[in-house]
Amino acid sequence: MKKNTMTAGEVRRFLQAERIEALDTRDPIAIRLAHGRWSVLEPTIRDRPDDAIVDLNVATVGVKLAAEALGYTPQQVRKLIREHRLAAQKKGDQWQIPLKALL
């Protein structure tokens, strides 16, 4: 995903299209991952109207939710962060991963 901002409606449509594509492939792993991403990312924009702008670098999730969205364990996500392979910022003692890194 190259864009830094999307409307909430665009994010919803992107995630829904990913779910439909996964179902069409009938690949259980793709279905599980698409569902995981939807269940993690949709609540971050649930209360926003479709035309609301979402800054994908500002909207973040924690390590546990990022792991669920990516199909990894929290330990694997922390390793990706340490290796600078996954964008994240530390806020207090918690890592925050921007939505842009998950889309």
Per-residue pLDDT of the chain (103 residues; tens, 9 = 90+): 568 999 999 999 999 999 999 999 999 999 999 998 899 899 989 999 999 999 999 999 999 999 999 999 999 999 999 999 999 999 999 999 999 999 8
Q: Which residue has the tokens 């996954």?
A: 86
pTM: 0.83
Q: Which residue has the tokens 């990913």?
A: 18
Nearest Cα neighbor of 64 from 47, 56, 54, 76 is: 76
Give the model's pLDDT for residue 2.
Answer: 65
Instruction: In whole angstroms, give the CA distance from residue 66 to residue 48.
Output: 20
Instruction: In whole angstroms, give the CA distance from residue 35 to residue 52.
Output: 23
Q: Name the phi and psi angles at 84, rounded to 5.
A: 60, 30
Give the model's pLDDT for residue 3.
Answer: 83
